[in-house]
Chains A and B, each alone.
Chain A
Amino acid sequence: MAKRLMEGSEAMAEAAIACGCRFFAGYPMTPFTELLENFAKKLPAVGGVCVNAESELEAVGMAWGALATGARAATGSTGQGLSLMQESFSEITLAELPLVAFNMARGQGDYFQSTRGGGHGDYRHIVLAPMDIGEAVELTQRAFHLADLWRNPVLVQGDYLLAHTAEAVDVEALDFGSLPDKDWSVDGSGGGSGQSKVLSPLGIGKTNTPGPGIEGQQLAVVEKLGRIAAVESRAETGFLDDAEHLVVAFGTPAKFVRYAVRRLRDKGLRVGYVRPITLWPFPGDTVAEAAAGKRSVLVFELNAGQMIDDVRLAVLGEAPVRGIGGISTDHAGFGVGALLDVEVIAGRIEDAVAGQEVLA
């Protein structure tokens, strides 16, 4: 298939549909709205369903119901809308349903919400952070695969740039390998058999087929999260062999950082980078290994300092860690501010490397 120029919102919707997503529900909110529009336009043509729900609360609820049938289903919003969905996110994780959620975020201030889980309890989502539309097409499909593989929600961490810029991409269905049958799904056929099923976050089971109970269910999910964390972290690294300083960044700003790093290397600065692709599980081992022996570890993120906590935890004092990002947004608050600029970023890296104060 040939590449064609596609806006990110369209490419991601097509990617989801290409890998079998047949249900989407959402509520309009910038910069997520176009993703909803694209699903509304494209899903009916493939026999799928898209519902413009009455609020974000119901959008995630509808996706929950669709997931229970065994279908691939998704929802999404921007950070504020995802705030409304947090109770359901917590409980869907406990119910072990393979939800895919899209955060088309306003900047990068939702890192904590996405990786710590803004809801109650000991839950985590796998979080995938594409840096451009091409990667978003792959990670969207990988999200559905990982969700089904682990029976755990996966969050695709997007943003305004991904939603509203266009790249030449080729959306083809990707095969990530075989998956187990969804024999946990319900279709009504168990009724009256004595072996009917209940999909529940509470682990109750039925009289004839008891479940592990509330504590047992929580323990089982936490154990599974540990197994996910052991194998699913992903990162991209560059120029680590001769680097004296390390820059860590995620998402679309990381592409700017990568470009700045190359420019600085051409000027003789020995800088390398680590770009976490999974924000959870955070590629702590990769960061730790990359940071060993470095004169400084610089974290660039468009927020008041969130991923830097995970970097510090990984580095554990082996090198000085400094934030060189900050809050930066436009007049409407959609996250495209003055800091998202290669000159500015390169300047901040240079200042930090020279030991100068980096303005917040």
Chain B
Amino acid sequence: MNEGREGNEPVLIPVGEKTPSLLQTGEHDLCPGCGEPVAIRILLETIAELGLSQSTVGVVGIGCYTAFARTLDVDLVQALHGRAPSVATGFKRMRPDTAVFTLQGDGDMVNEGLQEVLHTAARGENVTCVLLNNGVFGETGGHMTATSVIGQRTKTSLEGRDADYHGYPIVIGDLLSRLEGAAYVARGSVQNAGAVARTKRMMRKAFESQLAGEGFSMVEVLTMCPTGWFVPTAEGPEYMGDTLGQVHVMGELKAR
């Protein structure tokens, strides 16, 4: 039983609301323990805190996160699998004063759309690409992508990714950071609260880079997919750190 001083009710100050202000509802059907909603909260809080709520347009790719196209209280354009960067390019070129981001998974950006994101970064298009990287094609049931790591078991690498047969992963953040047109590239994760806080700072810097007209910005966020990884939800963060996190290493990869 709580007791206040002098018998009064204790005064509560709100620290955080459960549903981000830029989400029409917090309800979603993504799996228990999925890291994508956590990353999406980081994105939405950043947009709101930078005062960009009414001057931002998002371009959403195709993956589990596409479900959030219905609930994000942000003006959006739905793109095809892999094709968000070109749509973002066309939009931003016509509306340079609107903040434009893409929201894509690793299968979307690094498999289907590798050419798009490479050229968008190379041209220095002034957009922010947000990559939700869980090393699987989640929505289709958990298949190997270009970012899956050696040894990772997926439905198309049942014995574990084998370099001889499946080749090597593409470390996309590092690849993009080498391009002249890329102004800010960072890789965070939602592994724990500390990582969330660090990733939020990266997200802010990426959008600030866009606002300053510096060129292409990207925040890659490693997210848990316990379903695609065949692990219990509670073990998702540790699995991520032991596998994806060893190859796609957290940190700021480039900053102007």
Contacts and interface: CB of A to CB of B under 8 A. Distances in A.
Contact of A64 (B75, B86, B95): B86
A191 B59 contact: no
A187 B48 CA distance: 16
Contact of B22 (A22, A51, A69, A191): A191
Contacts, number: 165
B199 to A, nearest CB: 22
A238 interface: no
Contacts of A201: 78
- Residue in A71, A95, A196 whose Cβ sees the most chain B Cβ within 10 Å: A196
Contacts of B253: none
Contacts of B55: 188-189, 191
A198 B78 contact: yes
B86 A22 contact: no
Given A51-B89, A62-B90, A207-B70, A57 B83 contact: yes
Interface string A55-96: 101111111111111010100000000000001100100010
A206 B90 contact: no
B72 interface: yes
A206 B70 contact: yes
Contact of B87 (A23, A62, A71, A189): A62
Contacts of B83: 57-58, 61, 64, 88
Contacts of A206: 24, 70-71, 73
B90 A65 contact: yes
Nearest to A87: B80
Contact of B90 (A64, A186, A194): A64
B30 to A, nearest CB: 15
Interface string A300-316: 00000000000000000
B54 A188 contact: yes
A163 interface: no
A208 B27 CA distance: 13
Given A192-B73, A196-B74, A58 B53 contact: no
B213 to A, nearest CB: 16
A66 B75 contact: no
A196 B73 contact: yes
Contacts of B57: 68, 186-188
B99 interface: yes
Interface string B65-87: 00001111111111110010111
Contact of B89 (A22, A65, A193): A65
A25 interface: yes
A21 to B, nearest CB: 12
A61 B71 CA distance: 24
A222 interface: no
Contact of B75 (A54, A188, A202): A188
A65 B91 contact: yes
**A-side interface size class:** 35 or more
Contact of A204 (B69, B88, B92): B69
B156 interface: no
Contact of B79 (A54, A64, A193): A64
A202 B61 CA distance: 12
Contacts of B75: 186-191, 196-198
Nearest to B92: A65
Contacts of B41: none
B252 interface: no
Nearest to B86: A61
A188 B22 CA distance: 12
Nearest to B78: A200
Contacts of A23: 90, 93-94
Contacts of A189: 54-55, 75
Contacts of B116: 54, 57-58, 61
Contacts of B72: 196, 198
A22 B74 CA distance: 26
A25 B95 CA distance: 16
Contacts of B99: 188
A100 B232 CA distance: 50
A194 B71 CA distance: 10
B198 interface: no
A224 to B, nearest CB: 19
B21 A62 contact: no
B157 interface: no
B104 to A, nearest CB: 13
A199 interface: yes
Contacts of B77: 64-65, 68, 186, 198-200
B56 interface: yes
B24 A207 contact: yes
Contacts of A65: 59, 77, 86-94
Contacts of A59: 86
A28 to B, nearest CB: 15
B25 to A, nearest CB: 5
18 contacts: A22-B94, A23-B90, A54-B115, A57-B115, A64-B87, A186-B77, A188-B74, A190-B75, A192-B21, A192-B53, A192-B54, A196-B76, A198-B60, A198-B69, A198-B70, A200-B76, A204-B69, A206-B71
A-B CB proximity, top 3 nearest: A65-B90, A61-B86, A62-B90
Given A73-B90, A73-B94, A186-B77, 16 more contacts: A23-B93, A49-B94, A55-B115, A58-B119, A59-B86, A65-B86, A66-B94, A67-B90, A188-B74, A191-B73, A191-B75, A194-B73, A197-B76, A198-B72, A204-B78, A207-B71
